Each structure stands twice: as C-alpha cells, then as structure tokens.
Structure 1
C-alpha cells in the first residue's frame, strides 16, 4: 500500500484535524483519523501525519509548504541503461515549488552526447553547488547553445489550480509533460536516446496525473532523484529553470518596491506582511502561493504591526 508521512507543527496539526474531522475509533497516540477518496489520513500527537492508500501522494501534496520537515516515502530510482551519462538525453527539472513567493518554472533541455564535454567546460553541473551569479552567467550561455523549452506558471494561475483541488504533484507532472512535448517538437526529426525526469513522484503516480492528457511523453522515459548528477541534460534544465525563476523574482521585487526573499522562512513572512500593509491582502494572490502556511503567519504578523 502506498503511503506518505509528513511531520507538521502543532498549529498545522490542529488545522488538519479541523479539516478532516475525527472517526469514532482512533489508533493509539492519534488525535484524528479520517477517510477521503482513495486515502486514509491519521494524525498523531507527535506531529506525524500518515497518509495511506492509492491517493496518498496526491492527498498529502495538498499540504505542501505546510510541513515542518516533510518525510515522504522515498521514491525509487529506475535502473538506467549502461553508459546513460554519455547518451544524448532530454532532461527536465523544476524550480519554485517550495518557494512562497514567485512562480514555478519548468525547463526541458536536450543535450547531445557530442556536446557533453563542451558543456562541462562551460560550467554546467548540479545547480545546488552553484550560487545565483554563476547560475545567471552559465544560463545566459546555455540559452544560445542548446535546445530547451521553458514553462512559467505564475501565482494567479497556480492558486486557481490549487484551489480547484489540483495537487502540486499533478501541477508539476502536467508542466514537465508539456515542456518535454514542446521540446520534442522543437528538435524533430532528432530523437533523444532517452528522457530523464528529475523524480518527484513514482512513475505510476506521475502517469496517473497525466491520464486525461491527449499527448503524453512516454517513449524511453526514465525517472531518478538527483537527476542533475546523473546527466548533464537535467543539470542544464535545472540551471535554466533557476535562471527563469530568478528573473521572475526580480520582476516581483520591482513591483513590490523592495527585495522579495526566496524560500519559505521567517523573512518571507515579514515580506508578505509588508506587502499587505503597503497594499492590501488581495495582493498576495499575485505574489505568493496562498496555501502555504506563510499566509497565516504573515496575517498574524500584520495584526501586530
């Protein structure tokens, strides 16, 4: 049975208890337990919340951004063909899913095997080991050097989708599939040896998210966590996605009149409260992912200003 475990704060645990309600019989140590479509949810005094069932990943993703320290069941890496790192590969990655401010950016990039050494010399590597100025520098070169497809999901649309009941996992799957499809069209008649998606869901869950789509990229598709360290195509996609995200954050900062912070920490709460004080609460729909816990924290902070 598929399952996901989240660790949440007492505040979020109470919010989840109010959201799901309580069944008559509770397991030992539990403060709430409920059943929703394809999933049972049990919250414990320790702050652990257990999601079980075929829709566990989808249901738990509704609470993205509200966890104290998410502990999801590890996704399994696919067995990749021998010599995968030296193949011509199309890779995809996303940025911004854990940031309260700013959009989600997804990039699919194609790296031919004949270009791998050249791109390494250019500085393409795991973006987690790169600071923003270096990412900007390398990305500007990549934009002119490799085929890619970029999608930007800004917050107004993101909030509409999330409020309609779509999980962040499904949103990401739709964006990855669309970016890969557009890149396939761009490089036709060339066909990559393989496609590598930086894994955020099990393969079966990923394709379940796409089951209503007309065009689904399926041929020679592999999924792996830490995809940036496996093939340069994912590393390049990550750099370009990060660059696009940084540009969008610069635009938001200009609109706000002050520097908008990244992430989802205390500085973010202060910035959101400042925005509401300067303008009004409705401005958050444009700047933020409203369902994150930061929204409530910022509103509480605003009351104390």
Structure 2
C-alpha cells in the first residue's frame, strides 16, 4: 500500500522530529526516511511525504488533519483538516509560549470564543502574539479577559524543573493544554463548544500518547492545526493571553534577578546566566535547566573565577 501527503514546511520539520528515532539511510532528494512498524516514511523537499507498507492509512492519518495541499488564498478558504466554516464556530482554542526560551515560565492558555463574540475579538486586532509588541499584547489581553472564559497554566521555572524530572517537554505541554482545556470546559458548562482547536506542537497520536493514564483526557471534537491562530480567533486570543501572563512572570523574575532576562536561548542568554551564577544565584528559579544553556553558563562562570 502507498499513501502520499503534501505537507507544509513546518509540518515536515515536526515529522522529522517525530520520526527521528526511526530514521534510516536517506535517499538523494529526500529530507529523511524512517521505518516504523513495517511502514517506510520518506519525506521530500517538495513537501511530498510517501508512506509505504501495510496499513499505511493509519500512520498517514496521524498527519492528515494538518497536511496541506496548498496554502489558503483568503480567510474564507477551508483550513486544512478543518470544516469549511470552522472560523465561525464557537471554539475553545489553546496555545503556549515560552517553550523555546531559557529564562521564564512555560505558559499555556485556553480561551473560549463564542461565535457571538467573534466580531468583538476581531475588532481588537487580534493576531499571533509573536507579531505584536508587548504594549499591544497587554492592551488586548486586559480587554479579552473581561469577557472571554479562559484559564492559564503558568509553570514558573522552579515548578517546571521539578516536573521535567518526570516528563519530557512535549509531555509537559500536553498535560498543560489538557488541564487548561478541562478547566475552561468546566467554566462554561453546561455550554459545549462546537469544537476545540489546539495549536499543534506534535502529531495528534503522540499528543494523546503523552496523556495516557490521565483521569480526564479532552478528546471530543478536538482538532489540531499548525499556526492555529490563523484558523480561529480562539487560538489567537489564547496566544495573546498566554504571552501577557508570561510577560508579567518575566517582570517578576527580572526584579528578583535585578537584571533584565533576555528571551530565547542564544549567546546573550548564556552570558546573563553566567552572571547570575557568579553572583550566587540558583538558575533553578529563573531558567529551564534542561536547556544546553545551563552547561554553557557554568563553563562561562568558571572561566571568570
């Protein structure tokens, strides 16, 4: 059997990470090749991904909700894997910030946007939080939280580091998304959303595998979409609120450190982390210790002793 999907660049990147443990020799013209459960998966630079073997449908179906054959040409175009009118549904959206930043918390927000509030949200100029300035995020978030049911799971570094002793980061994100969604569902009960949209950070099958054993797993009418903020305003609102809470947390940590903590995980981060160590601070209260920056900072700190 053979199945072929046309995928976006971001999805190819996610596939490559997911199938990394199963990779084999990559043929010319391909990005990667993997063999998993008797199925060979080959991804090409053109965006085509070929699934070959027995029961390929089950494996390829994992990716179909977010696989795309072409980019949407306008807002009314059907989002890949979502119903044509999904943007007009009453939806709980969830998104997270902070996963790629050494300093600061992991922050996950879930927000319910009833279709009666869509225009009100739209008028605020909501978009992906990465594309707006901090003052705009603060302005929009303060308005959103006055009329939208929401919940934020904000794991400050100390708690984050404790949990990372038992989970990987993907598992931890899945747990936080599930908790945030469950809390919002409880807040709006007995109202039920038309759908739930999670800003996709891992294949759906992997997401649910991460949640295995949890007492309450939200799975009814759940959709996954890379760049989910473009598919529904609920995810965009979640992105804004998560960023707002993260900004407040970073201000608190900066005050404790008495030095501005940069975002990201680049060289500037290593320098600041080393400075904190030289001043006798524990990085546990400021940073995600499993990042490679920790070892780099320790080397830098020792160099100046």
TM-score range, shorter chain: 0.7 to 0.9
List aligned pairs for 1:139-288, cutoff 5 A.
139-164=141-166, 166-280=167-281, 283-288=282-287
Aligned CA RMSD, in angstroms, stands at: 2.6
How far is 1:145 from its partner? Answer: 1.8
Partner Cα distance (2:33, 2:268) in 1: 30
Q: How far is 1:43 from its partner?
A: 11
Which residue number in structure 2 is paired with residue 97 of structure 1? 99
Match of 1:134 in 2: 136
CA distance in structure 1 between the aligned counterparts of 2:178 and 2:150, rounded to whole angstroms: 13
Shift in alpha-carbon separation, 1:137–1:160, aligned structure 2, 3 A: same
Deviation for aligned residue 1:126: 1.9
Matches within 5 A, 1:7-26: none
Q: Is the 8 A contact 1:199 1:223 kept in 2?
A: yes
Give the Cα separation in 2 of the matches to 1:49 and 1:193: 37
Please give the secondary structure, in 2, of the residue aligned with 1:150: strand
Cα separation, partners in 2 of 1:225 and 1:191, compared to 1, 3 Å: same
Separation of aligned partners in 2, 1:50 and 1:264: 29
Q: 1:5 to 1:223 in 2, by over 3 A?
A: closer
Q: Distance in 2 between matches of 1:122 and 1:97?
A: 26
Count of aligned pairs: 248
CA distance in 2, matches of 1:262, 1:134: 18
SS at match of 2:202: coil
CA distance in 2, matches of 1:159, 1:186: 29
The one of 97, 108, 111 equivalent to 2:110 is 108
- Which blocks of at least 5 consecutive residues in structure 1 are unaligned? 7-37, 55-73
Deviation at 1:304, TM superposition (A): 2.5
Aligned to 1:32: none
Please give the alpha-carbon distance, in whole angstroms, between the structure 2 residues aligned to 1:241 and 1:297: 29
In 1, Cα distance between equivalents of 2:213 and 2:288: 25
Shift of 1:120: 1.0
Residues 87, 112 of structure 1: 8 Å contact kept: yes
Distance in 1 (CA, whole Å) between partners of 2:222 and 2:242 is 20
Please report how far the alpha carbon of residue 173 of structure 1 lies from its aligned counterpart in structure 2 after TM superposition.
0.5
Shift in CA distance, 188/75, structure 1 to aligned 2, threshold 3 Å: same
Partners of 2:302 and 2:32 lie apart in 1 by 30
Q: Which whole-Å CA distance do the structure 1 matches of 2:169 and 2:113 have between them?
A: 28
Task: Structure 2: state its 5+ residue gaps.
Answer: 1-13, 38-61, 67-79
Say if 2:290 is the partner of 1:291: yes
Structure 2 match to 1:118: 120
CA distance in 2, matches of 1:180, 1:110: 9
Equivalents in 1 of 2:283, 2:146: separation in Å? 35
CA positional deviation for 1:288: 0.7
Q: For 1:248 and 1:134, how far apart are their aligned partners in 2?
A: 17
Runs of 4+ in 1 over 6 A off after TM superposition: 41-44, 48-52
